[in-house]
């Protein structure tokens, strides 16, 4: 969603007094009067519009991953869960007949491609509490944990789709947290690159330090080496280069989902009803315009920028777009997207609206505003850029090309989206000699390596070399909180690249037979020594350029996927570094066959999922072919299991070969998901791994008694690896090293 500007208050459905609970009323006379005055909703629709604003949102999700994988998850949901959710009664749900009448069968969103986004018109409370929906609830939880499903509000999915991201695009998300739309952008970047690394990248920025780490948690599960998170005020986002003396980077696609009042989120945010005032939007308008202005400066000619908010207020929407179109005088234009996303019920942007001061008094024009400001500056603190265009200007601006989505049109939240295209670029200044940078440019850069991160002062004027349009930065809440930022920790360790000839890396390349076509020069560590200690990470070559050329300009929060992790072992072996499952998708096309095992018997996979460290002897009884292939692998260590399924949806997994036993290297979430998707074995929220004597997380043994569990042979902790589950205990927010 557009970023709601939090101004205090708790996310609750009421206030708890000394002796009772008082629910916040879903009414606000000022809100209702304001929007009726604006005339955005026809009179005959108002009651329906308001009624939907007062209802809870339906549950919505989208299916992620590669195309073949998406189809498998979609078919599983349609075949196993849609029938259950389509045949319920009031008795099984313990709800009234009237409540049951409001429940509809799950349906794919008409406007989202390939039936990959679904809407369940069942409130979250009903879904979680009723036994009839427990299997579906569990399905959603498990698939979300492994990244196959993203629980996201429907209208939040629209802006990334309208950006039309391709694998070669340079993409910028200016106000990225909490990250659901950023995840969509990363997914689109990789959509047609299952066997290759995209040449493009996604830079995700957020001004709030803590929220930027929330963003990492949201997108990290996608395991993309073409993704980087930075922490800057979007109004003053520093420009950067890919080469030390090269031109500044311009972007093919920019998402500008700005901070807003969030007054279209009242279906899920009860505080909007209580806290809404006219002044909220007036206070954010300049900030929104400044961020949009910065984004336009970063856009390539022919590039596309999407501006969006989760507000319905023209002051935050059409007024901002109008001001930007006037400021850039024909260098940008609104794009007509009426033929894109067919099936999306929408309304056109508006070309006229009323401007009210904080007291609710209408202001006809700038002259009247200035007069009232002289009389009462407090109540008339209104930016001059909020006024609508004249009739003649409106004809040229085409504000009707913007998209308005209202809650009652298709049972969603509200949203505003405008798609802009750059027609003509600003004159490009000569590249600055990096050895002779001006004092002003130096002030625009910050350090993220071994020195403390420099703070951006709220009103500091920064000089950017080729900037044609100046903005006056508006202090944001996150900037005011900068004095109380978290201390530097491992999450902010430097990104230090190691040569491909590093002795440890050379052993890994040889051990796993990695092709020279793989960009081996893009491996790095996150520690001050610059040497591989615990983890080795990988980034796409273009991300390496960003990290190395701009380390003094950008405040980097996160980038890279884990490639190799040091293996604790007392045994003398070359396999002291195991390959991480999160990097398998990237590395698979470049791996040799020496440690590759093909598996056709699904019963072997089932056994590996349900038990940890089964003996080689036990595996021989299940499959002679699998046993022979494992025996032919020369050394102990990580191998790769290519599971050939009858339906053609093969699975590629890491497996550890020990001296006498083997172990599938998956965490519990991946294990539970595969048990259900491949074998139909269900788990519940109380299902956990049992612990063996060595302290390793063992797999759940479904259907066995406690006695049989205790009698199983145990693995030698000194000779076997930790599973990936142990790694998941590291901080979710960053690929850091201890």
In angstroms, the CA 737 to CA 535 distance is 7
Residue 179 marked in a binding site: yes
Q: What is the maximal distance between C-alpha atoms in the chain? A: 91
Q: Where are the beta strands (DSSP E) in 364-497?
A: 403-405, 415-422, 496-497
Residue 177 marked in a binding site: yes
Output the pLDDT for position 692.
42
- Is there a contact between 203 and 249 (Cβ–Cβ < 8 Å)? no
On the question of a cis peptide bond just before residue 178, with omega within 30 degrees of 0, the verdict is: yes
Pairing of strands 251-257, 170-173: parallel
In angstroms, the CA 67 to CA 35 distance is 43
Q: Which residues in the chain show pLDDT less than 70?
A: 1-22, 66-68, 88-102, 123-125, 426-492, 569-575, 685-738
Output the pLDDT for position 354.
97
Question: Angle 309-314-315 (CA atoms, 0-180°, nearest 5)?
Answer: 90
Residue 178 marked in a binding site: yes
In angstroms, the CA 711 to CA 695 distance is 16
- Is there a contact between 147 and 222 (Cβ–Cβ < 8 Å)? yes
Residue 47 marked in a binding site: no
Residue 164 marked in a binding site: no
- Is there a contact between 236 and 478 (Cβ–Cβ < 8 Å)? no
In angstroms, the CA 637 to CA 578 distance is 7
Hey, which residues does 691 pair with through a beta bridge?
697
In angstroms, the CA 665 to CA 724 distance is 6
Residue 24's Cβ-count burial label (10 Å; 0-12, 13-18, 19+) is middle
Residue 262 marked in a binding site: no
User: 3-class DSSP state for residue 346?
Assistant: coil
Q: Return left, alpha or beta for 486; rule: phi > 0 is left, psi -120 to 50 is alpha, else beta.
A: beta
In angstroms, the CA 486 to CA 453 distance is 11
Helices (H), 299-341: 318-328
Supply the residues annotated as catalytic. Answer: 310
Hey, which residues does 591 pair with through a beta bridge?
514
In angstroms, the CA 595 to CA 725 distance is 23
- Is there a contact between 634 and 575 (Cβ–Cβ < 8 Å)? no
Output the pLDDT for position 218.
83
Residue 180 marked in a binding site: yes
Q: 495: closest CA among 521, 520, 525, 533?
A: 525
Count of CB atoms situated within 10 Å of the CB of 734: 23
Output the pLDDT for position 473.
64
In angstroms, the CA 535 to CA 554 distance is 24
pTM (2 d.p.): 0.84
Count of CB atoms situated within 10 Å of the CB of 82: 17
In angstroms, the CA 254 to CA 26 distance is 36
- φ/ψ of residue 690, rounded to 5: -85, 155
- Cβ within 8 Å of residue 150, ≥6 positions away: 61, 62, 64, 144, 180, 183, 184
């Amino acid at each position: 969603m557009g970023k709601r500007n939090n101004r205090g208050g708790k996310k609750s459905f009421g206030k708890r007094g000394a002796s009772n609970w008082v629910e916040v009323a879903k009414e606000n006379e000022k809100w209702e009067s304001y929007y009726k005055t604006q005339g955005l909703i026809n009179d005959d629709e108002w009651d329906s519009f308001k009624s939907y604003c007062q209802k809870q949102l339906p549950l919505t999700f989208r299916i992620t991953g590669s195309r073949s994988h998406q189809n498998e998850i979609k078919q599983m949901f349609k075949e196993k869960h849609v029938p259950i959710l389509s045949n319920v009664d009031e008795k099984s749900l313990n709800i009234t007949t009237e409540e049951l009448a409001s429940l509809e069968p799950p349906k794919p969103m008409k406007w989202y491609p390939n039936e990959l986004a679904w809407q369940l018109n069942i409130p979250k409370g009903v879904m979680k509490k009723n036994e009839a929906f427990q299997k579906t609830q569990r399905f959603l939880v498990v698939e979300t944990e492994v990244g196959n499903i993203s629980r996201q509000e429907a209208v939040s999915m629209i802006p990334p789709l309208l950006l039309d991201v391709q694998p070669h695009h340079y993409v910028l998300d200016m106000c990225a947290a909490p990250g659901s739309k950023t995840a969509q952008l990363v997914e689109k970047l990789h959509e047609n690159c299952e066997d290759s690394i995209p040449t493009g990248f996604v830079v995700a920025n957020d001004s709030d330090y803590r929220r930027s780490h929330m963003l990492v948690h949201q997108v990290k599960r996608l395991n993309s080496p073409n993704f980087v998170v930075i922490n800057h005020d979007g109004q003053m986002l520093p420009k950067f280069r890919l080469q030390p003396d090269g031109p500044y980077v311009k972007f093919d696609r920019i998402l500008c989902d700005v901070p807003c009042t969030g007054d279209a989120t009242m279906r899920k945010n009860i505080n909007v009803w209580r806290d809404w005032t006219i002044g909220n939007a007036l206070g954010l308008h300049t900030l929104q315009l400044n961020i949009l202005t910065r984004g336009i400066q970063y856009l390539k000619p022919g590039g596309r920028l999407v501006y969006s908010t989760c507000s319905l207020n023209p002051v935050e929407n059409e007024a901002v777009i109008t001001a930007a179109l006037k400021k850039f005088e024909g260098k940008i234009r609104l794009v007509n997207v009426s033929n894109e996303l067919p099936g999306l019920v929408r309304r056109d942007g508006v070309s006229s609206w009323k401007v009210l001061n904080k007291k609710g008094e209408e202001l006809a024009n700038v002259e009247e505003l200035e007069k009232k400001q002289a009389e009462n500056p407090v109540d008339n603190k209104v930016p001059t850029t909020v006024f609508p265009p004249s009739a003649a200007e409106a004809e040229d601006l085409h504000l009707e090309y913007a998209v308005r989505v209202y809650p009652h049109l298709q049972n969603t939240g509200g949203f505003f989206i405008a798609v802009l295209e750059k027609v003509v670029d600003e004159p490009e200044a000569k590249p600055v000699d990096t050895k002779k940078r001006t004092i002003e440019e130096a002030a625009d850069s910050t350090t993220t390596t071994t020195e403390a991160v420099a703070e951006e002062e709220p009103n500091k004027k920064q000089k950017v070399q080729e900037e044609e349009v100046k903005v006056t930065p508006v202090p944001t809440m996150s900037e005011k909180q900068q004095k109380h930022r978290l201390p530097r920790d491992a999450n902010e360790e430097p990104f230090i690249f190691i040569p491909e000839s590093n002795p440890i890396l050379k052993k890994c390349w040889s051990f796993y037979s990695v092709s020279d076509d793989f960009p081996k020069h893009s491996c790095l560590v996150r520690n001050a020594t610059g040497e591989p200690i615990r983890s080795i990470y990988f980034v796409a070559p273009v991300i390496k350029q960003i990290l190395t050329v701009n380390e003094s300009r950008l405040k980097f929060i996160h980038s890279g996927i884990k490639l190799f992790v040091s293996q604790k072992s007392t045994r003398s072996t070359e396999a002291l570094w195991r390959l991480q499952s999160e990097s398998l998708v990237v590395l698979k096309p470049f791996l040799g066959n020496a440690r590759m095992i093909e598996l056709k018997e699904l019963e072997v996979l089932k056994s590996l999922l349900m038990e940890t460290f089964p003996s080689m002897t036990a595996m021989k009884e299940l499959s002679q072919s699998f046993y022979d292939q494992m025996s032919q692998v020369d050394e102990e260590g990580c191998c790769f299991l290519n599971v050939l399924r009858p339906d053609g949806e093969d699975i590629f997994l890491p497996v550890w070969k020990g001296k006498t036993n083997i172990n599938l290297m998956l965490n519990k979430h991946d294990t539970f998901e595969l048990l259900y998707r491949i074998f139909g074995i269900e788990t519940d929220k109380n299902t956990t791994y049992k612990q063996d004597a060595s302290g390793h997380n063992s797999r759940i043994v479904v259907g066995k008694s406690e006695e049989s569990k205790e009698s199983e042979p145990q693995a030698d902790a000194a000779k076997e690896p930790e599973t990936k589950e142990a790694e998941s205990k590291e901080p979710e927010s960053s690929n850091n090293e201890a």
